[in-house]
């Protein structure tokens, strides 16, 4: 998989992250994958490093933004006459964009002025689905989908799936704006009535169950899910769900025990259904949500089930509620579900701050689960960011190869760049960890000793 974006969050200029093995892959666990054309060598993991606030997380979020656009630009309740909401609420450009509700309050003159100022966001993704290469891309602004296209390589050669272009002149999307490839021309016409200027064609294909685009839609449904530190407490319930399944129980418990947390059992602690309904109604009243606008009842519950973990103790086993657990324990438990799901499905998992509250040994072991063909037979991929520089290593024996590392930096005007470590041409036996900490590759904070000294004087005053 490779991902490219421009004007996405803090990435004003083009950023490109590829999991294809490069020339410096002798120390990385690249694996060959058969395709309809030439076989390719693919990396099972990639790590993003850099100073705090440099844009490590936003690169992962930009990938997750593309997934949300595909899956949510056409949603139940989207009104075609409110053109800002379908795309605008999911659009995350570099510029500071008003909230969707603010856009709707603008006068026609203010909207036109804003249209002229805002730049579009560009996404491109290149991936393999069942041995067939697919290319998908779009250009979008808060008002419309300016362009969208998909190509595939069923016999090793590029073939058009569809292409759409829309002029940002306020006119409605016309059927002539959408062109299908020869193999999709007849069946693709059934999608046209569902495509609006602010709705992706791929979203319409997902909602309508359009079979020819099923492989591409299915990929987005199963991939690029983002695991963030703040939601791992919620995700810990997924680990307990896997404990309740016969085929995954032993795997989860083995990982819980291997972390040396003293855990011997895990169970779900469900929320009382009546209290759940009371909380749901209270939130809807507080938010002013009209029941008629959510007749499908698809709103997520405001309360999640919890978990209870049983620990080994000097006087026997003791069960603790989630509120009494350490953050490190909950982080580890919260990672197990997404990691095992990705390994089983062979999907791409995004993890923000992989090393948050975890010992470096546990961080290393998560990466190894993806790097080792025995634990990752389906070629799942892990893309993460971290500050744990021990993953870089000081010899050829390292957790990440030289073509598996990206380094982010942010300029004074807030623009992020992401540079592959391989651009610095490190040697096979280079002490990458030490040289990174010395600032040889960038990606470390620039701390002014004089300013720091003045700050400490003020604190001590």
pLDDT tens per residue, range 390-411: 999 887 678 999 999 999 999 8
Identify which of 201, 137, 139 has the alpha carbon closest to the alpha carbon of residue 173: 201
Diameter over CA atoms, the chain: 77
Strands (E), 117-185: 121-129, 132-140, 145-153, 159-165, 178-180
**Nearest alpha carbon to residue 46 among 393, 315, 381:** 381
How high is the pLDDT of residue 35? 81
3-state helix, strand, coil in the chain (%, to 5): 40, 20, 40
CA distance 52 to 229: 15
Secondary structure letter of residue 389 according to DSSP: G
Q: Where are the beta strands (DSSP E) in 190-291?
A: 225-227, 263-269
Asked if pLDDT for residue 444 goes beyond 50, the answer is yes
Q: How far is CA 69 from CA 91, 97, 398, 442, in A?
A: 8, 17, 37, 33
* CB 389 within 8 Å of CB 441: no
The first and second tokens of residue 69, run together, are 């656009």
**Which of 31-45, 137-151, 340-354, 422-436 has the largest mean confidence?**
340-354
Contacts of 38 (CB under 8 A, 6+ apart): 156
**Of 196-205, 259-268, 446-455, which gets the smallest average pLDDT?**
446-455
CA–CA gap between residue 366 and residue 259 (Å, rounded): 11
451 has pLDDT over 60 = yes
Q: With pLDDT > 90 as the criterion, what percentage of the chain qualifies?
A: 42
* β-bridge partners, 121: 140
* Mean pLDDT, range 114-140, rounded to an integer: 87
User: What is the pLDDT at residue 22?
Assistant: 80
Give kind and range of the element (H or E) at residue 241.
helix 232-243
* Four-CA torsion 419, 370, 124, 133, nearest 10 degrees: 130
**pLDDT of 257:** 87
How many Cβ atoms are within 10 Å of 22's Cβ, its own excluded? 18
- The confidence score (pLDDT) of residue 342 equals 96
Residue 96 has pLDDT above 60, yes or no: no
The CA distance from 161 to 152, in Å, is 7
Q: Return the pLDDT at 292.
A: 43
pLDDT for residue 108 is more than 50 = yes
Q: Taking all residues of the chain, what is their mean pLDDT, rounded to a whole number?
A: 83
The residue behind tokens 């025995």 is 374
User: What pLDDT is stored for residue 90 in this prediction?
Assistant: 60
Neighbour order of strands in the sheet with 15-18: 15-18, 2-6, 121-129, 132-140, 145-153, 159-165, 178-180
d(CA 443, CA 400): 17
Q: Examine the pLDDT at 296 and tell me if it is beyond 50.
A: no
What pLDDT sits at residue 18?
95
Indicate whether 358 pLDDT > 80.
Answer: yes
Structure tokens at 253: 């418990």
Pairing of strands 132-140, 145-153: antiparallel
**Weakest mean pLDDT among 28-32, 72-76, 83-87, 184-188:** 83-87
Average of per-residue pLDDT across 32-37: 80
Cβ(54)–Cβ(9) under 8 Å? no
Handedness of CA 415, 421, 425, 430 (dihedral sign): positive
pLDDT tens for each residue of 41-83: 999 999 999 999 999 999 999 999 999 999 988 865 444 444 4
Contact 68, 403 (CB under 8 A): no
Are the C-beta atoms of residues 49 and 436 closer than 8 Å to each other? yes
pLDDT score, position 398: 85
Instruction: Pull the structure tokens for residue 304.
Output: 């999640």
Per-residue confidence (pLDDT) for residue 363, from 0 to 100: 95
CA distances from 215 to 39, 194, 346 (A): 20, 20, 14
Q: Examine the pLDDT at 124 and tell me if it is beyond 60.
A: yes
Report whether pLDDT(215) > 90.
Answer: yes
CB atoms within 10 A of CB 220: 20
Band the pLDDT of 115: cuts 50, 70, 90. low
Query: What SS3 state is found at 246?
Result: coil
Residue 91 predicted with pLDDT over 80: no
**CA–CA gap between residue 56 and residue 62 (Å, rounded):** 10
Does the pLDDT at position 359 exceed 70?
Answer: yes
Greater model confidence, 236 or 217: 217
Across the range 25-40, mean pLDDT stands at: 81
Q: Which residue has the tokens 């050829």?
A: 396
Which residue is associated with the tokens 């799936």?
A: 161
């Amino acid at each position: 998989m490779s991902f490219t974006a421009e004007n996405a969050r803090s990435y004003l200029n083009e950023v490109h992250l590829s999991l294809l093995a490069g020339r410096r892959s002798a120390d990385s666990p690249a694996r060959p994958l058969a395709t309809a054309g030439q076989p390719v060598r693919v990396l099972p993991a990639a790590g993003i490093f850099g100073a705090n606030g440099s844009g490590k997380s936003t690169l992962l979020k930009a990938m997750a933004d593309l997934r949300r656009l595909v899956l949510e630009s056409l949603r139940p309740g989207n009104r075609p006459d409110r053109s800002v909401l379908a795309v605008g609420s999911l659009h995350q450009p570099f510029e500071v964009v008003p909230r969707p509700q603010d856009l709707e309050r603008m006068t026609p003159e203010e909207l036109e002025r804003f249209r002229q100022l805002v730049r579009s966001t560009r996404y491109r993704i290149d991936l393999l689905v069942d041995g067939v290469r697919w290319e998908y891309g779009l250009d979008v602004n808060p008002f419309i989908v300016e362009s969208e296209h998909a190509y595939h390589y069923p016999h090793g050669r590029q073939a058009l799936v569809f292409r759409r272009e829309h002029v940002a002149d306020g006119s409605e999307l016309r059927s002539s704006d959408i062109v299908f490839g020869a193999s999709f021309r007849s069946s693709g016409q059934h999608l046209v009535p569902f495509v609006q200027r602010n709705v992706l064609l791929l979203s319409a294909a997902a909602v309508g169950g359009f079979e020819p685009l099923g492989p591409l839609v299915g990929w987005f449904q199963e991939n690029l899910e983002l695991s963030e530190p703040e939601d791992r407490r919620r995700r810990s319930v997924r680990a307990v769900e896997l404990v309740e399944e016969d085929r995954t129980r032993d795997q989860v418990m083995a990982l819980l025990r291997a972390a040396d947390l003293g855990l011997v059992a895990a169970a779900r602690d469900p929320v009382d259904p009546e209290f759940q309904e009371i909380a749901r109604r209270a939130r809807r009243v507080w938010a002013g949500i009209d029941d008629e606008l959510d007749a499908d009842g698809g709103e997520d519950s405001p309360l999640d089930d919890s978990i209870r973990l049983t620990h080994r103790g000097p006087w026997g086993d003791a069960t603790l509620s989630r509120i009494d657990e350490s953050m490190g324990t909950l982080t580890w438990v919260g990672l197990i579900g997404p990691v095992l799901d990705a390994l089983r499905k062979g999907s791409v998992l995004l993890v923000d701050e992989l090393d948050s509250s975890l010992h470096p040994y546990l961080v290393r072991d998560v990466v190894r689960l993806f790097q080792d063909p025995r634990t990752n037979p389906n070629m799942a991929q892990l893309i993460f960011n971290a500050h744990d520089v021990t993953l870089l290593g000081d010899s050829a024996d390292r957790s990440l190869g030289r073509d598996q590392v990206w380094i982010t930096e942010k300029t004074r005007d807030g623009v992020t760049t992401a540079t592959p470590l391989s651009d610095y041409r490190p040697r096979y036996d280079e002490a990458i960890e030490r040289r990174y900490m010395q600032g040889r590759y960038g990606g470390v904070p620039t701390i002014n000793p004089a300013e720091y000294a003045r700050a400490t004087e003020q604190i001590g005053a």
